[in-house]
Chain A
Amino acid sequence: MITLAGVGAAGLSGLMDQRKPAFAASDSAGQFTNRLRLPGASGLYAAVAAKDVRQITVSELNFEVLPKLSSPFWGYVAEVGGKRLLNPTLLARPGDPIRLRMVNRLKQPTIIHWHGLTNDDRNDGTGMYLSEPGKSFDYDFTVRDRAAMYWYHPHPPYITAGQTYRGLAGLFIVEDDEERKLARALDLTLGVTDIPLVIQDRSFNFEGKLEYNLSREQMFMGFLGEEILVNLTARPYFDAARRIYRFRILNGSNARSYRLAFAQGSRLLDYHLIGTDGGLLEQPQKVRETFIGAAQRLDVLLDLRAASGNEPVFLKSLAFDPMHNESVDEKTGKLAVGAAQGGADHAAHAAAGALPDGTEMPLMQINIKSSPEYTRQIPSQLSRLPSPAASTGEPRRLTLGHDGKGNWTINGWRFNMHETPVTVQRGARETWLLQNNRASMPHPVHIHGFQFRVLERGNSPAQIKALATRQNGLLPQDAGLLDTVLVWPGESVRIALDFSHPFKGDQTYMFHCHNLEHEDTGMMIGYKVKA
């Protein structure tokens, strides 16, 4: 409305942007013109042994996110072997020692959180320890976790979203013998046929510079951008051979969820889910679509031999109901009297030009090139996982909701650095029941310090229930180890946690929504693991 008023004096004969994807799935040909950025020997995402990195400097710099357009950008900069790396892809094996110094060259405090890795609270980067501007912080830990794609990003209280948005995020890939066996079986090479994909939505101003200015209402919803980037590439394409590709997908967006599928024309291709946040599943799960919430990872195999002809395949997000149900009546689930419809309310608060949550949109074009014959097959067995920890006693209930005053809460609590409203005993096995109110929106819930298993989903919305493939309403990705789980409005998710770890003394970790704007505005609590 502001724009219309401003135009009034001169009239309006241009066509106002209608807040829809600038490219629709059906007319996306020719729109994907930028080669996908991949981990290389230097520069962005360069792969390097984590134990060889001695220092990471958190820097404000300029970077061409869009081709030939320099934008202010915040990055993790490392120098290894005379090469300058930006947001390096850190490679490690279980048992590797990580000793590095983080130097903060920002004008605000920061800290690195090693998302998904098992660490003591000092090395976890919970935000209780911060590095002030010009200061440094030394990390010293051992890689203790299974092979998987983890990631690292900022975690200072109240200002994580902006720091991550401006560029601070990198991958931490742990490899082991099982991984190498899979790579040999399928002839996979990182950066060539084993492709990490970091999906993030961003907005740019009219000069092509990254833009992040949110109103209070937009903070309540979470950031929704105008462009979807993959590996910081806008409208990317990837040239592929007719063979199996491994895509390790991180939803690095601040708030947006995606319903991921591979499509050739109107046909959805089958793909295999082989891993989640905490590494390989026991067996591949054949799927056609999978939801991924902010901070989650999906490890998938796509067999392009199943594609017909040379028509491009698109990684896309299918349309879905984003369930912005903040305004429904909690008891009836219906629209509260006098309240705006959740979705409409959400659209009104979204930034002008932002792609609405749940919109169908292509994310990446995959061009199929001629290639030598490839005859490998996906192994039927990938790994072995221990059974979920059997707990004793009633589940611990944690309810996700809002206070009606624009604040998201957990059991009615809001973040307080000096409080840990939940205490567990080291070595205890517990079941937690994550209950999302009806009057809510989807929340990707992240637990620091421990990975967990999903035991049951209850009251799942129809679009989730339709994807359940196992008893207890479980989804294919629930077969794996997770550090983040997406909980939909009205849904209850029962998870199993084993609070065993080797760290001495009491440890304090965070439990929070990984919609980063929610986290920053208080949807986070500390919990204590008592020694």
Chain B
Amino acid sequence: MKDFLLVMLFAAIGVGNALAHHESGGQHSMQAQAPAAGQKTAKGTGLIQQIDRDKGAITIKHGPLQGLNMPPMTMSFLVKDKAMLSSLQPLQKVDFELTYDGRQYLITSIK
């Protein structure tokens, strides 16, 4: 139970960071240019469930994310640039790449 709460707390902090980061637009490119030490990247395939174009978020039912010890699940991610969502539709199959810097996930390419 303790582990579970810790994971949930971590998740909540992560979510907060993800949203805060997203709203401070300019940091995206800065972080992309100077990735944090230990940043991981991963590739995935999934089915789009929902697109929030205003928030720049996308919900994907994805397969395993190799290298991140991430099993298949449905999650919402922020994208690096809202324009990446312009040509996407719900229930479209996509291949995507994301980064994880120890705090948050960010989709860097999707098609």
Which residues of A does B touch, CB under 8 Å? 1-17, 22-23, 31, 33-34, 66-69, 204-208, 226-227, 234-235, 352-353
Whether B46 sits at the interface, judged by CB under 8 Å, is yes
Whether B36 sits at the interface, judged by CB under 8 Å, is no
Contact call A17/B76, Cβ cutoff below 8 A: yes
Bound form: Cα–Cα A234–B91 in Å: 8
Please list the 9 inter-chain residue pairs (A to B) with the smallest Cβ-Cβ separation, ordered nearest first. Answer: A13-B14, A14-B75, A15-B76, A13-B104, A17-B74, A12-B11, A22-B50, A6-B71, A206-B63
Contact call A8/B3, Cβ cutoff below 8 A: yes
Q: Evaluate whether A10 and B91 lie within 8 angstroms (CB atoms) in the complex, with A4-B7, A17-B59, A17-B76 already known.
A: no
Bound form: Cα–Cα A353–B59 in Å: 12
Q: Evaluate whether A8 and B91 lie within 8 angstroms (CB atoms) in the complex, with A14-B18, A17-B76 already known.
A: no
Closest to B75 in A: A14
Residues of B within 8 A of A352 (CB): 73-74
Q: Evaluate whether A9 and B69 lie within 8 angstroms (CB atoms) in the complex, with A14-B77, A15-B75, A206-B61 already known.
A: yes
Q: Chain B's nearest CB lies how many Å from the CB of A182?
A: 36
Whether B17 sits at the interface, judged by CB under 8 Å, is yes
Which residues of B does A touch, CB under 8 Å? 3-4, 7-8, 10-11, 14-15, 17-18, 40, 45-47, 49-50, 57, 59-63, 68-77, 89-93, 100, 102-105
Q: Chain A's nearest CB lies how many Å from the CB of B66?
A: 12
Residues of A within 8 A of B15 (CB): 13-15
Closest to B11 in A: A12
Contact call A353/B74, Cβ cutoff below 8 A: yes
Contact call A22/B89, Cβ cutoff below 8 A: no
Q: Evaluate whether A69 and B50 lie within 8 angstroms (CB atoms) in the complex, with A6-B71, A206-B72 already known.
A: no
Contact call B59/A207, Cβ cutoff below 8 A: no
Contact call B59/A22, Cβ cutoff below 8 A: yes
User: At the interface, is chain A mostly helix, strand, loop or mixed?
Assistant: loop
Residues of A within 8 A of B4 (CB): 1, 4
Q: Chain A's nearest CB lies how many Å from the CB of B63?
A: 4
Q: Which of B59, B60, B70, B74 gathers most chain A CB within 10 Å?
A: B74
Bound form: Cα–Cα A23–B91 in Å: 12
Contact call B11/A207, Cβ cutoff below 8 A: no
Residues of A within 8 A of B49 (CB): 17, 22
Bound form: Cα–Cα A14–B105 in Å: 6
Closest to A13 in B: B14
Contact call A13/B103, Cβ cutoff below 8 A: yes
Q: Evaluate whether A207 and B14 lie within 8 angstroms (CB atoms) in the complex, with A4-B8, A10-B68, A16-B75 already known.
A: no
Closest to B46 in A: A206
Q: Given A7-B71, A12-B14, A66-B93, 4 more contacts at CB 8 Å? A: A10-B70, A13-B103, A14-B105, A207-B93
8 Å CB contact of B91 from A3, A14, A17, A235: A235
Contact call B47/A206, Cβ cutoff below 8 A: yes
Residues of A within 8 A of B73 (CB): 3, 6-7, 16-17, 352
Contact call A10/B100, Cβ cutoff below 8 A: yes
Contact call B70/A16, Cβ cutoff below 8 A: no
Residues of A within 8 A of B105 (CB): 13-14
Q: Evaluate whether A31 and B69 lie within 8 angstroms (CB atoms) in the complex, with A13-B18, A17-B74 already known.
A: no
Q: Chain B's nearest CB lies how many Å from the CB of A202?
A: 11
8 Å CB contact of A208 from B3, B89, B93: B93
Contact call A16/B11, Cβ cutoff below 8 A: yes
Contact call A33/B61, Cβ cutoff below 8 A: no
Contact call A353/B61, Cβ cutoff below 8 A: yes
Q: Chain A's nearest CB lies how many Å from the CB of B14?
A: 3
Bound form: Cα–Cα A13–B46 in Å: 18
Residues of B within 8 A of A67 (CB): 91-92
Contact call B11/A13, Cβ cutoff below 8 A: yes
Contact call B7/A31, Cβ cutoff below 8 A: no
Q: Chain A's nearest CB lies how many Å from the CB of B11?
A: 4
Closest to A32 in B: B90
Residues of A within 8 A of B18 (CB): 13-15
Closest to A69 in B: B93
Bound form: Cα–Cα A226–B73 in Å: 13
Q: Chain A's nearest CB lies how many Å from the CB of B31?
A: 13
Q: Which of B3, B17, B90, B105 gathers most chain A CB within 10 Å?
A: B90
Residues of B within 8 A of A234 (CB): 91
Residues of A within 8 A of B8 (CB): 4
8 Å CB contact of B89 from A33, A207, A353: A33
Residues of A within 8 A of B10 (CB): 11-12
Closest to A27 in B: B52
Bound form: Cα–Cα A66–B94 in Å: 13
Residues of A within 8 A of B69 (CB): 6-7, 9-10
Q: Evaluate whether A11 and B63 lie within 8 angstroms (CB atoms) in the complex, with A17-B75, A22-B49 already known.
A: no
Closest to B45 in A: A206
Bound form: Cα–Cα A23–B57 in Å: 14
